[in-house]
Amino acid sequence: MKKLTLALLLTASPALAAGDRFFSLHNTNFVVLLAFLLFIGVLFYFKVPGLLGGLLEKRADGIQAELDEARSLREEAQSLLASYERKQKDVQAQADRIVEGAKRDAESASKQAKIDLEASIARRVQAAEDQIAQAQTAAVREVTERAIALSVSVARDVLQADMTDQSASALIDQSIEEVGARLN
């Protein structure tokens, strides 16, 4: 977090050199910086990086499990092949047919496992991308809502500070005339 703050301060220095007051709500660069920091804060508050890391770790564990399963299937196929080769001494013709069948089954299982693994990876990647998109949408919506609330609050404060009894009376009279004109 300290590195992020230091980096933001270093990037803000050219804006300060421009001569305009940087730390003002009238400066859009400062407002954007505040919104960005709020957005980053929201991401860390809701532990989005940890969630993404967890999702990726789960995905990696699933892929590793599937690879281990494919390896065990391969080892099982190799052990079957070895047993068929021992039987070859007794019945050469029958063993040749069995070995050929085992090789075809192993290749077919390997191809099918590869196809299934690729499909599974694609589904998991899509699910992770969907979750990331949902998290981004939620974060953007929350930042927008907070910005609107802050804008309304600032506008209310400004109007209250500038409002006098005479200007309030004039504003009420003007509103009554406008409503009367629109109703007729």
**pLDDT tens sequence across 153-163:** 877 777 777 77
Residue 13, amino acid? S
Look at residue 5 in the predicted model and tell me its pLDDT: 57
Q: What is the DSSP letter of 76?
A: H
Look at residue 17 in the predicted model and tell me its pLDDT: 44
Least confident of 38-42, 136-140, 179-183: 179-183
Mean pLDDT calculated for residue range 167-182 = 83
- Residue 37 banded pLDDT, cuts 50, 70, 90: very high
Contact 37, 8 (CB under 8 A): yes
Contact 77, 105 (CB under 8 A): yes
Q: Can you tell me which residue has the tokens 């907070």?
A: 146
- Give the list of residues 6+ apart from residue 10 with CB closer than 8 angstroms, or none: none
Q: Across 48-52, 72-76, 91-95, which has the greatest mean pLDDT? A: 72-76
Which has the closest alpha carbon to 114: 67, 75, 57, 77? 67
- Give the list of residues 6+ apart from residue 36 with CB closer than 8 angstroms, or none: none
Looking at every residue in the chain, the average pLDDT score rounds to 84
Q: Where are the domains of the chain?
A: 1-45, 47-142
Neighbouring CB atoms inside 10 A of 8's CB total: 13
Q: Give the integer Cα–Cα distance in Å for 124 and 74.
A: 24
- Residue 9, pLDDT > 80, answer no
